[in-house]
Amino acid sequence: MLTKTQHLFDEATRVVAGDSRWQGRTSPDYYAFVGPFGGFTAATILRALIEHPQRAGDPLALTVNYCAPIAEGEFDLDVRLVKANRSSQHWCVELSQGGADVATLATAVFAERRPSWSHQSAEMPEAKPFASIPPYTKVAAPWVKQYDFRFIDGDPNFGASQSRPASAYSKLWIGDRVPRKIDMLSLVSMSDAFFARVFHARRELVPFGTVTLTTYFHLSTEDLAGEDITHVLACADAKIFNRSYQDQTGELWSPSGKLIATTTQMGYFKA
Amino acid sequence: MLTKTQHLFDEATRVVAGDSRWQGRTSPDYYAFVGPFGGFTAATILRALIEHPQRAGDPLALTVNYCAPIAEGEFDLDVRLVKANRSSQHWCVELSQGGADVATLATAVFAERRPSWSHQSAEMPEAKPFASIPPYTKVAAPWVKQYDFRFIDGDPNFGASQSRPASAYSKLWIGDRVPRKIDMLSLVSMSDAFFARVFHARRELVPFGTVTLTTYFHLSTEDLAGEDITHVLACADAKIFNRSYQDQTGELWSPSGKLIATTTQMGYFKA
């Protein structure tokens, strides 16, 4: 099922090592309307950290603040290990282009995921199997084409505008269109692959942009690899839309029932 | 009801302006077992930003990464405006002591909260009135004495150890012990004022520390001031405890039914 050639996602998120400066470039395949898809940017940042020679442990948490649009082309990643402890690391990454202002600011925590008492209090939502649901085909932005969305709840059937706000909840399977084994980079990218909650609540597209995204990783890299999956069950909801900003909370589940990542974000909207 | 003299919390979180370097100091009143209470640290960082002459707009999001213990005494805050846009700002703050390694790393987003379409999809949980519930008195760490906790669900009656994991959910009113009007600083501090979820799930105290905390603010500063409240309804839960880390999600509600802040964190535990 997995392709043997380099996956588009791996090509797109490729970084070139420097000392503290790494380089990447935007990819037309992972473009949104006015710049790269935020999940692409976040995954590229995480990739620079994972590939960094000083990196120790597994990704535990990543926060990405989208400060300004990223122009098409190359970008620099200023990667800094802020503090290293015995079993955790704190990183800061600044993305900029041509020596201009910071366009993306990120912090990350890596940690040794030692065995411990374990308990998953959240239960996986019920979901029809991936294979039984037709893929979503109303594709708008290029990055959407790179994913295989299979909606269970909250199919974005926009245009049916309503007088009362609709549900902001979505439940869907997400995989790469060309199947790719789910890794930490997928989880980051898929964390930002939900359509804006305001689109769902208003049943229409309005100007929207993710402002800040935080993702937590609940499995070790090894345990995630052991799941050996190419799609996740993804659920997202919003609690409030107020004064031009919305929140979003999300969960990414392995088909085996394990909660593998949780995510939250604030996004700007114009409505 | 409000005291006219300087509140302990305001004294504790006091910062002294520099150029990009601000100074604060730990407060014995807001101490945990091995250093300052994380909510105190986060509130002090937010306060330096709010009081910064270049600050524009209201707090929208704050992420605080606790990198290393903070020793008793003075600390420096290296405050940097990373990017300013027309209606938002991105900040980075590093807390250190005596020129040593960074002990706390934070990023914040400030934004002009322009009026917009508004919809609160989440509903406030039912709650008995604050005044009808006796305060929690089993106080351990000094910082806990500064708050008035009134438990509705999840009273931390530890010691009754169980063979199966107990619920990690809590619902309680939180106010300052000496009443203080709720502001953005309170919201940050109270975001970290939940007892560790692992204590609830295991019904026992185990070594625990917050590693990273993210709080989103859903009202403008003016709207929050307009609520004119001294306590919030606070709900917290956890989804997973795995490989030495737990997640936590939380909500802070105004008694009027408005969702004023949401928060999420990852914490280390030993169990």
Q: Average the pLDDT over A113-119 and give the result.
A: 97
Q: Do B117 and A268 touch (CB under 8 A)?
A: no
Name chain A contacts of B113, Cβ cutoff 8 Å: 242-245
Q: How does DSSP assign chain B, residue by residue?
A: ---SSPPHHHHHT--B--SSEEEEE--GGGB-SSSB-HHHHHHHHHHHHHT-TT--SEEEEEEEEE-SPPPSSEEEEEEEEEEE-SSEEEEEEEEESTT-SEEEEEEEEEE-------EE-S-PPP---GGGSPPP----SHHHHTEEEEEEE----TT---SSPPP--EEEEEEESS-----HHHHHHHHT-SPPHHHHHHTS---EEEEEEEEEE-S-HHHHHHH--SEEEEEEE-SEEETTEEEEEEEEE-TTS-EEEEEEEEEEE--
**Binding-face residues of A in 18-77 toward B, CB within 8 A:** 60-61, 63, 65, 67-68
pLDDT tens figures, A199-250: 999 999 999 999 999 999 999 999 999 999 999 999 999 999 999 999 999 9
pLDDT at residue A94 tops 50? yes
Q: Does B82 contact A at CB distance below 8 Å?
A: yes
Q: Do A85 and B67 touch (CB under 8 A)?
A: yes
pLDDT at residue A15 tops 70? yes
Say which range, B18-32, B55-69, B183-197, has the weakest mean pLDDT: B18-32
Using CB atoms, pick whichever of B67, B111, B223 lies closest to residue A245.
B111
Using CB atoms, pick whichever of B67, B117, B118 lies closest to residue A82.
B67
pLDDT tens figures, B146-163: 999 999 999 887 766 677
Chain A nearest CA to B254, separation (Å): 14
- Residue B8: the pLDDT is 80
Using CB atoms, pick whichever of B83, B101, B107 lies closest to residue A107.
B107
Q: Comparing A210 with B20, which gets the higher pLDDT?
A: A210
Structure tokens at B2: 């409000």
- Residue B34: the pLDDT is 81
Torsion sign (Cα): B120, A153, A183, A70: negative
Name chain A contacts of B100, Cβ cutoff 8 Å: none
pLDDT at residue A1 tops 70? no
Q: Do B109 and A63 touch (CB under 8 A)?
A: no
Q: Does B113 contact A at CB distance below 8 Å?
A: yes
Q: Do B109 and A237 touch (CB under 8 A)?
A: no
Q: Do A83 and B105 touch (CB under 8 A)?
A: yes
Q: Does A205 contact B at CB distance below 8 Å?
A: no
Q: Does A218 contact B at CB distance below 8 Å?
A: yes
**Binding-face residues of A in 138-177 toward B, CB within 8 A:** 165, 167-168
Chain A CA closest to residue B251: A239
CB B16 within 8 A of CB B24: yes
- To the nearest whole number, what is the mean pLDDT of chain A? 93
pLDDT tens figures, A18-28: 767 899 999 99
Q: Does B105 contact A at CB distance below 8 Å?
A: yes
Q: Do B60 and A259 touch (CB under 8 A)?
A: no
The ipTM, to two decimals, is: 0.95
- Residue B160: the pLDDT is 64
pLDDT at residue A3 tops 50? no
Phi-psi domain of B65 (left: phi exceeds 0; alpha: psi -120 through 50; beta: other)? beta
Choose the mutation target among B49, B199, B212 for the interface with A, i.e. most A CBs under 10 Å.
B212
- Residue A21: the pLDDT is 86
Q: Residue B259's closest CA among B92, B95, B120?
A: B120
Q: Do A67 and B82 touch (CB under 8 A)?
A: yes
Choose the mutation target among A239, A248, A254, A268 for the interface with B, i.e. most B CBs under 10 Å.
A239
Q: Does A133 contact B at CB distance below 8 Å?
A: no
d(CA A215, CA A193): 12
Residue that is written with structure tokens 């006091």 in the block: B14
pLDDT at residue A120 tops 90? yes
Chain B CA closest to residue A164: B119
Helix (H, G, I), strand (E, B) or coil at A105: strand
- Residue A197: the pLDDT is 96
- To the nearest whole number, what is the mean pLDDT of chain B? 93
pLDDT tens figures, B99-148: 999 999 999 999 999 999 999 999 999 999 999 999 998 877 899 999 99
pLDDT at residue B5 tops 70? no
Q: Do B83 and A61 touch (CB under 8 A)?
A: no
Name chain A contacts of B244, Cβ cutoff 8 Å: 111, 113-116
Q: Does B81 contact A at CB distance below 8 Å?
A: no
Say which range, A52-56, A136-140, B79-83, B119-123, has the weakest mean pLDDT: A136-140
**Percent residues over pLDDT 90 in chain A:** 85
pLDDT at residue A198 tops 70? yes
Q: Residue A268's closest CA among A239, A253, A247, A249?
A: A247
pLDDT tens figures, B28-71: 999 998 899 999 999 999 999 999 999 999 999 999 999 999 99
CB B266 within 8 A of CB A88: no
Q: Do B262 and A264 touch (CB under 8 A)?
A: yes
Chain A nearest CA to B4, separation (Å): 32
- Provide the residue type at A197 as one letter: R
**Binding-face residues of B in 228-257 toward A, CB within 8 A:** 237-245, 247, 249, 251
Q: Average the pLDDT over A21-42 and give the result.
A: 92
The band of B17, judged by pLDDT with boundaries at 50, 70 and 90, is confident
- Residue B2: the pLDDT is 43
Say which range, A82-91, A155-164, A234-243, has the weakest mean pLDDT: A155-164
The band of A153, judged by pLDDT with boundaries at 50, 70 and 90, is very high
